[in-house]
Each structure stands twice: as C-alpha cells, then as structure tokens.
Amino acid sequence: MCMTDEALFWRDALSAHWPIGDAWQTLAGEFDLNFRDEHRVYKVMRADCDDALVGLQVDLLAHLAGSHALIPKLVPTQTGASIQRINDADGKARLCWSISALHGELLVHSSPVDIGLSREIGAAIARLHRALDGFAHPMLQRKIKWDLREVLSVRDASRRYATHPLRDTLDKIFSQQTKDALSALSSLSSQAIHNDLNDHNLLCRADALGPLQLTGIIDFGDAIEAPRIVDLAIAAAYLVLNTQRPFEQLFALVAGYTSVIPLDDTEVGLVWPLLLTRLAQSAVNAWDSAGDANDDYLQVSQAPITDFLATHGDTMPAFVEAGLRRSAGRPPAHQAAREWVAANAHTAFPIFNRSLAEAPVLDLWVAGDDTTDNPVTPDLDQLTKRLLDLAPEDQPVLGKYREARLVYGAPFYLSGDHGATDRRTIHIAIDVFLPAGTTVYAPLDAVVHSAEVCDAEFDYGGLVVLKHTPAEDVTFYTLYGHLTHASAATLSEGQAIKRGEPFAQLGPWAQNGGWPPHVHFQLGMTDAPGSAWPGVVDPDLLDDWQTVFPDPAALLGVADSETTGAEPEPGATHDSRVQHSPPSLRLSYEQPLQIVRGWKSLLFDERGRTYLDAYNNVPHVGHSHPRVRAAVERQLRFINTNTRYLQPIHAAYTEALCARLPAPLSVCFLLSSGSEANELALRLARAHTGSNETIALKAGYHGHTVTTIEISDYKFSGPGGEGAPDWVHIVNNPDTYRFDAPDDNAGAFFAEEVASVIATLAQDSRHPGCFIAETFPSVGGQVVPPRDYLHHVYRHVRAAGGICIADEVQTGLGRLGEYFWGFEHQNVTPDIVVLGKPIGNGYPLAAVITTPEIAASFDTGMEFFATFGGASAACAAGLEVLSIIDDEQLAERAANVGHQLLHGLRSLASAHPVLADVRGEGLFIGVECADADKRPLPEVTRYIVNRLRDRRVLIGSDGPHHNVLKIRPPLAFTAEDAAHFLYSLSTVLSESALQTYR
C-alpha cells in the first residue's frame, strides 16, 4: 500500500506516545487528520484547534465510558495523558489524542440499509441521549456552523444561488414552515447531543450474510447543547439518502427512537422540517466551499442530497407527519375532523344531486373484472366500453377507494429504476362516472381552497379543492378532479360556496386528462393545493396515505363495504395453503410472493407491485400473451374435446410441430405435462428395444411420476430420495467447470463414461434400452454441454441397440437463440424428443415426437389415450405459440438479449469473483457461485436470489450444490429488462455482506 509522507510522519511522531500497530491508514476528515491502526484511531487536530474543543470530546467520552456499547473509549498515552501536543512537519504544535477503533464500515459505504438497521440506529441514538443527559461543558454552548438553529443564515447564504436547479425546493424548505419549526424548537429543552449523526459517523457490519448491524457512533467534535430532536433529524437526513425506500427508513428510525424515549407532538412535527433543513444546509455549505481544500469531503454527500431533494423534497408534509406520528405511537392528526366526518357525513348534500347508493361499482383491481387488458399501457377505450356494459351512459358508475390498479401507465406514476418495477397503484379516492357536463354540487358549506387546471395527459384537467370548517377546530378538504377547465377558471380562492350549491361540471375527454368523464372525489386532511394531492399512492406507504386521505364513501352516501378495495391478503392465502396443501409443496423466496397477474416479462402482486421475471420459462412468449388467450378463448367457445374425434386443430398443431423437427421425427403424441411425456417416452423405448436399462445424467430431472423419479438423480439422490433402481445407470453431467475435461475433446471425454456403462452392462448380457438427458441440464446447474457430447453418446448407445431420448422441456422452442432445439447444438437427431413447459405458454401441453418406426413398435394392440393429451384448446394454445415465436422473432431476440446478458454477467464476474462461472446459450443462463477453489457457495447464491427478489427482480437457484443462479426469462424479455437485471445484480453484489467473499 502506498502511504503518504504525512501518514508516515505522523505514524513516527505518534509512536513516541502510543504503541502503534502495523496496519496504518489515513481516514477521511473535514479539518483534522485521522489515522488508524488495528486497535486505535489517532486524531491530529488542525494547527489552530482550540484546546477546549478537544477537552470537550475527551470529557464527553470519559462521561460516556462504559455506559454505551457503541461509543469508542479514550486511549491515554503511555504516560497516562488524554491529550498529547506534538509538533507537525512545519513545527506547529498539534493536539493529538486516541480512541479505541470500533469494528465495522462507515454507514455511507454500507448497504443495504434496511428497516431493522434504521430502527436500531434510532434506538441507539435514544440510548446515547440517555447517557449524555446531565453532561455539561462550557464548549457545548459555542456557536457552530452546523447548528440547525442557525438555518436562517443558511437561507440567506443560499440566496446567492438564485438560478440553481434546487432553488424552488430550497425556497419551500426555508419557508414559513421552517420558521415555525425553529420557533417550536426553541420551546424544547436542551441537553448535550452529538449534533452530527451523519452516515460518516455511524459504523455498521454484516455478519454471515445477515443484515447490517450498528457497531459504532463516532466523532463527537460537533457536540452542542440543543434539543434532542436535532440529533434524530440529522441522522434521518442521511439515512434517507441512497435508499430505494426513504420513508420506510425514516419511520423505522423514529419507531426505534421512541422504543427508548417517547417523542411529544412538537418533536414529531419537527423531524421532517429539520431533516429537509439539514439537507439544504449541507447543500448550501457545499456550494459555498466548492473549490476549498476540504471540498472532496464536503462534496461526497452532494449527489444523493440533490437527488433526494429533487425527488422527495416536495413530498406532502401531511403524509410524512402521518407516518412519523404512527411510528412514534402518537394518534393521527386532525382527529376532530375525522370524528366530525364519521358523525355527520350523512348530512352532506349529494354531489350530483342524486343518490349514488345503487350505482354499480367497477372492479379495477390489478386482476379485477373491469381492468384493462394491458397493465403497462392501458387502453382507456376498453375502460369506456366496460362502463357502458355496467350502466347506460347517463347513469352513475362508481370506482373504488383504496383499490390497487394497473390502469395508471403515465411516466409520473412510475418511480423505480426500471420502467415498471416501482409505480403508484392505489387509488385513494372514489370515482363517479357520469357524462361530461354533469353538474357537481357542494356537499357542505365550503370555501374554494384551490382551483387549477392540470393539463398533462392522464392528469386531472380542471381541479378544485373545497375547504370545510363545519365547527370550531374542525377543518377538512374535498377534492374534485377531471372537471371542465372553465369550472376551475371561474372559481377563485376563498370564494364561499353553500352546501348544495352547483359549482363545477365534469370535464369532457379533451379537458380531463384523457379519461372517460368522471369526478375523482377525494377527502383530505391536508391544506396542500389540489395539484399537490396524489390521487394514486405507493402501495407500500398505503397506511399513512390513508390517514391523510380517509375513505370518502360516507360523504357520497355510498356503502364503504361496496366501494372500498380489498385485495386477497397474502397472509390469509398462506394460512389457507398451510391448511389445505401438502407441506412438500414449497414456496420460493424467504419473503414469498403472491402473484395475481403477468404481462410479457413482468409479474404483479396483489397491490400491483411489479416484478421483473427473469426466471419463468413456461410463459415462453410472455405472460398473458393476448394472442394465446384469444386462441384458447376462441377454441373454448366452440369445442374442447379429445383425440377420439377427428379435430382440425389437433391435425394443424401436430403437423406444425413436426414440421419444425428434422426427419424422421414425424409422429407426435400429445400430453399435458413433461412428466407424463417422459413417462411415455420410456414406454416407447422399452417397446422398441425390449430393454428397460436406462442411462441418465447425474443431477438430471425428468418429472415427478413414479418412473420419472426413478430416472431423476436430482430427486432420488436428493432429500427423501431412495437411490437409483438397478435398471438406472447414472453418468456424470458434461460439466466442463466441475470436471477437468480436455479442451479439444471434451464431448468425447464425457461420452466415454456412457461407453463404459454400456460395457459393464454387456458383461452381464444386458444392453441399454435408452439414454435420456436434458439436452442442456437445467436443475443440474444450467450446464452447457461441450459440442458433440451427444453426438458421441448417441453413437455409443445406438451401437449397443439403445435409442436416444432428448428431454427438450427446458431448451426447446428457440430459447437457445441460435438453436431452435438444444440437440442442434450437439449435431444430433434424437430418436425421441420430449417437449413440455413452454409449448402451451402455460396452457398444460406436452409432446413426445418420434419416428414412425418407434411409433409402430409401440402399437402393440393396446390403445394409447390421454384424456387431456391433444385436447382442442391445448392444441390451439400450442399452435399460436409457434406462430408468435415466428411473428415476434423471439428466437432472434433470445440470441441478442442472451448475448447482452452473458456479456454483462461476464463483466460483473470479473469484478466479483463469487460469480465463478458464467455460462449459457440464448436465454438459458447459469452463474455458478463458488470460491477461488471452486468450493460451492450456496449461501451466497441464496443471498443473491433473495436480495434480487427484494429489489423486485426474480431469478432462481439450482444445481447439485444449490449454487447456480438460474436465469431463464420469458423470451419477451427486452434489452431494457436485461439492463435492469444487470444493474440490480451489480447493486446486490456490491452489498456489504458479500464483501468478505471478494
């Protein structure tokens, strides 16, 4: 390691007073020099440092000694002094002191910061406050620039940056609200506080792939006497940076704090304004000092601060307050208004001067009857048609409150890194659909609070908020969206409107943001203007948004049991499953998912949260492909029957399927599952060869029936397995990562094992009936066999009288990109090909395709019949899948996107050696996690899979050692999906827990 002259100088100088260890390094600092060895941190204060400032820190640490586990201890010099004066290279005296080094990494360099860590930090701050209570020191009264109470001078300083992009946000932050906050702050009592609990002053560590834990609180150099809430707000200000879920972290921090020290309403109300103030203060200080020597240190937090202020600086304060109050165990604000509405809503004038009680209610839930077919780019004409189905045009139709919907596709509903993985979905108002021009009446006496025109597509058009103050201390608001522009233009703020007075009209399509005419009626406990009210909110923050925007059903005179959305609750689904499904039926992921909808490469849970599917190969042409659905629907409309009748659709499908296969594979049996198909393939082989001796691969999987389990090493050698029967002979997987095979002849090398099994059988006068293998072993670890492996194997098997079965359940139908079938990669034509999983795109369909000769051997007189095998609707699905693959050029896409993924994965692997082997072909990809000695790392694999799931990206894991990341998305996976997948994986690989595996 290269050490600066300064670091060398101070190592020598300090070693005269402390026993310095070998591992000497420089740490970051704003003004002072900081060094550390393996045991201690050494502080060399700036040349003009006030003795008293060091005295404060030394006294403070002495006060805390032993009372707080996370605080470093003071380490005196060899002669027992707390502080040592040492001359620097320029001969200037510097104050030097030392503290014990704590384990862990700075929070700013750690990830992921989860809710548990935030809670822990909150609780640790509260315990620190307990321990500091009663500590007094004259220096605690000094004036410092980082005192939040000095914020008005920061505001003045910020005025120099008149054209900065954050100007508006800063103005809002330094508004009246901040002044109110500061005056509230001055009413609170003070004590010694840390005053700089930023992410450079908190340490944490992840043990054994567990979550991060707090290991230290350092640097008391900014300690002052101030209200305790200042510390919490400062910690919060840095905790919300660099996280995808800032509000959950903030609320958890406050909940942690209040688990030790309760907060009163004033304190809770200060957290958000002080948090924003601190970020603004940090931004302005950094602009002020741009170009200084200390610039780097100050600039480090700037990008995330700017990002946060730009993205969340405008978040509705009433929402943040709701979350903070809930976390602090305080009752929601505006209790009197809530009670008033509950008791008096029935006195409201009907807003359309007619009863809505009997109006039909739309079901626009994620997977509701009335939602649009396309959940990403919704077709609003479809919604209009649905409305007309429910009621004549002049009759009202209602849309539900608190309903998770996928009808909001405009960019301003999306918030995640990927086009669709994070979006607002929960409608937090009630809709009433009536024709454009319908008059709207005031439900209660009111004044106009705001009247605006929000002109963007899918926005509100004319938008009015009325303020109601029906009693002293009772104020609430009602919002009316999608009005005519004239309605908003003719109203003025402060204008009084009487109960029952007409005040607006419903806007037409051209004026209401492009929606079928309706009013979006929302009840709010916030004085924000209408354009600041979200009408659709984040599903993960629903509880707090519901506090701000309660159910308005009673004000409309409708029954909330009819108009409040309630999605199937995952806990209840899970309980039912535990009760009525076998325990051997397993769920994926530590946090299982309830999936209710799919579209192309996306999956949606009950609240419309979106997941990128990089795992499921059954929805080959994409989840819920409209053409497959239409083909099956059409077929079900007329007939879905079996193969005992001549069926044109059956003929068309078998013909089309056989046309894709090389001669002499021209006879097709249809079934409904891969297991069933493999079972039949074995029967064909036995009938044709007269032998049931079967050669199969190690870690192979062919199905869950009695016989397919008996040939599936993955099952019979796994937990609960009973080993191979004597007619099954297992050879190693042709896995060039795990086995040392000669580079130029690997295929023949692995095939030799098959030859030797055959030789052993021959000694016993037995001969193989068949060889069966997944063409590219999948559960065996997404293995790409060496070229010509099967060519050599088939040669041996056929020479001994056996036939060759290719289980193409995972690899067929264009998944491999360049090869429509896996066996093409191997230069062979199998005697039997088995297909399943993707061929019906989720409709149960499987196939066995063989030669006329083998089919003839099977025709022993016994009828072959499978009730659902070859049923009309399944054939319709299969036929449509084949044409979609061609029409959408999905094999080409698999080749291109697969190439992008493999390339990206290989470059990630070069930076992260845990990705020990990256392999694949098209969209059949595996990444083996292992250490430098190829020892499998199943725990790392599990960690990556679950962390990706937390980021809403789905993959699986497999392989005999459970250490292969399994990536095999629907072929609808796009280049953008691949980029998002790679970005998400790279983020997970950079997480703290994985750094010990470097």
620 binds ligand PMP (CB under 6 A): no
Distance between CA 323 and CA 590 in Å, rounded? 27
Quick one: 611 or 701, whose CB is closer to ligand PMP? 701
Of positions 673, 691, 841, 941, contacts ligand PMP by CB under 6 A: 673
∠ CA(34), CA(40), CA(44), 5° rounding?
30
Quick one: 533 or 776, whose CB is closer to ligand PMP? 776
Question: Which residues have CB under 8 Å from 510's CB, separation 6+?
Answer: none
CB of 840 to ligand PMP, least distance (A): 10
Q: What is the three-class DSSP state of 191?
A: strand
The backbone torsions φ and ψ at residue 231, rounded to the nearest 5 degrees and listed phi first, read -60, -45
Cis peptide before 539 (omega within 30 of 0): no
Quick one: 807 or 880, whose CB is closer to ligand PMP? 807
Which region, judged by CB under 6 A, interacts with ligand PMP, from 127-135, 426-434, 474-482, 670-678?
A: 670-678
Distance between CA 896 and CA 921 in Å, rounded? 10
163-191 burial, b if ≥16 CB within 10 A, otherwise e? eeebeebbebbbeebbeebbebbeebebb
Nearest to 279 by CA among 144, 121, 154, 193: 154
Q: What is the three-class DSSP state of 87?
A: strand
Distance between CA 642 and CA 650 in Å, rounded? 9
Quick one: 372 or 673, whose CB is closer to ligand PMP? 673
Nearest to 834 by CA among 842, 825, 824, 845: 845
Q: What is the dihedral of CA 235, 241, 247, 251, to 10 degrees?
A: -20
Quick one: 702 or 738, whose CB is closer to ligand PMP? 702
Quick one: 232 or 834, whose CB is closer to ligand PMP? 834
The neighbour count for residue 890, using CB atoms within 10 Å, is: 25
CB of 834 to ligand PMP, least distance (A): 7
Distance between CA 521 and CA 555 in Å, rounded? 10
Of positions 625, 702, 738, 825, contacts ligand PMP by CB under 6 A: 702
Distance between CA 496 and CA 446 in Å, rounded? 6
Handedness of CA 295, 297, 303, 309 (dihedral sign): negative
**Which 823-882 positions form the footprint of ligand PMP (CB under 6 A)?**
836
CB of 327 closer than 8 Å to CB of 252:
yes
Quick one: 425 or 778, whose CB is closer to ligand PMP? 778
**Which 595-614 positions form the footprint of ligand PMP (CB under 6 A)?**
none
Distance between CA 128 and CA 410 in Å, rounded? 46
How many residues bind ligand PMP (CB under 6 A)? The answer is 14
Distance between CA 596 and CA 613 in Å, rounded? 14
The neighbour count for residue 614, using CB atoms within 10 Å, is: 27
CB of 779 to ligand PMP, least distance (A): 7
Quick one: 432 or 967, whose CB is closer to ligand PMP? 967
CB of 741 to ligand PMP, least distance (A): 23
Of positions 701, 737, 776, 858, contacts ligand PMP by CB under 6 A: 701
CB of 319 to ligand PMP, least distance (A): 45
Which region, judged by CB under 6 A, interacts with ligand PMP, from 96-104, 488-496, 518-526, 671-679?
A: 671-679
Which amino acid is residue 664, in one-letter code? Answer: P
Tokens (6 digits) for 669: 């049996």
CB of 802 to ligand PMP, least distance (A): 20
**Secondary structure of 606-651 in the HEC alphabet?**
CCCCEEEECCCCCCCCCECCHHHHHHHHHHHHHCCCCCCCCCHHHH
Which region, judged by CB under 6 A, interacts with ligand PMP, from 194-202, 608-616, 667-675, 726-734?
A: 667-675
Quick one: 478 or 712, whose CB is closer to ligand PMP? 712
User: What percentage of the chain's residues is helix, strand, coil (to nearest 5)?
Assistant: 40, 20, 40
CB of 640 to ligand PMP, least distance (A): 20
Distance between CA 432 and CA 66 in Å, rounded? 64
Which region, judged by CB under 6 A, interacts with ligand PMP, from 99-107, 118-126, 440-448, 697-705?
A: 697-705
Report which residue's Cβ sits closest to ligand PMP.
674
Of positions 674, 734, 747, 920, contacts ligand PMP by CB under 6 A: 674
The neighbour count for residue 158, using CB atoms within 10 Å, is: 24
CB of 536 to ligand PMP, least distance (A): 39
Site track for ligand PMP across 749-778, x = CB under 6 A: -------------------------x---x
Quick one: 674 or 936, whose CB is closer to ligand PMP? 674
Question: Which residues have CB under 8 Å from 58's CB, separation 6+?
Answer: 74, 82, 83, 97
CB of 699 to ligand PMP, least distance (A): 11
Which region, judged by CB under 6 A, interacts with ligand PMP, from 485-493, 525-533, 669-677, 855-863?
A: 669-677
Of positions 539, 703, 830, 898, contacts ligand PMP by CB under 6 A: 703
689 binds ligand PMP (CB under 6 A): no
Quick one: 701 or 789, whose CB is closer to ligand PMP? 701
What single-letter DSSP state applies at residue 729?
Answer: E
Helix (H) or strand (E) holding 782: none
678 binds ligand PMP (CB under 6 A): yes
CB of 809 to ligand PMP, least distance (A): 4
Quick one: 513 or 956, whose CB is closer to ligand PMP? 956
Quick one: 535 or 836, whose CB is closer to ligand PMP? 836
Quick one: 216 or 785, whose CB is closer to ligand PMP? 785
C-alpha pair distances (Å), 232 with each of 105, 113, 148: 21, 17, 12
CB of 674 to ligand PMP, least distance (A): 2
675 binds ligand PMP (CB under 6 A): yes
What residues are paired with 216 via a beta bridge? 203
Which region, judged by CB under 6 A, interacts with ligand PMP, from 163-171, 176-184, 597-605, 668-676?
A: 668-676
CB of 704 to ligand PMP, least distance (A): 6
CB of 923 to ligand PMP, least distance (A): 15
CB of 680 to ligand PMP, least distance (A): 12
CB of 769 to ligand PMP, least distance (A): 18
CB of 897 to ligand PMP, least distance (A): 21
CB of 677 to ligand PMP, least distance (A): 7
**Which 786-815 positions form the footprint of ligand PMP (CB under 6 A)?**
807, 809-810
Site track for ligand PMP across 462-501, x = CB under 6 A: ----------------------------------------
Quick one: 483 or 628, whose CB is closer to ligand PMP? 628
Tokens (6 digits) for 318: 């009433």
What residues are paired with 479 via a beta bridge? 465, 522
Quick one: 191 or 778, whose CB is closer to ligand PMP? 778
Q: What is the dihedral of CA 110, 281, 532, 343, to 10 degrees?
A: 90
Cis peptide before 936 (omega within 30 of 0): no
CB of 542 closer than 8 Å to CB of 564:
no
Quick one: 846 or 985, whose CB is closer to ligand PMP? 846
Quick one: 383 or 835, whose CB is closer to ligand PMP? 835
The residues that touch ligand PMP, with contacts defined as CB under 6 A, are: 673-675, 678, 701-704, 774, 778, 807, 809-810, 836
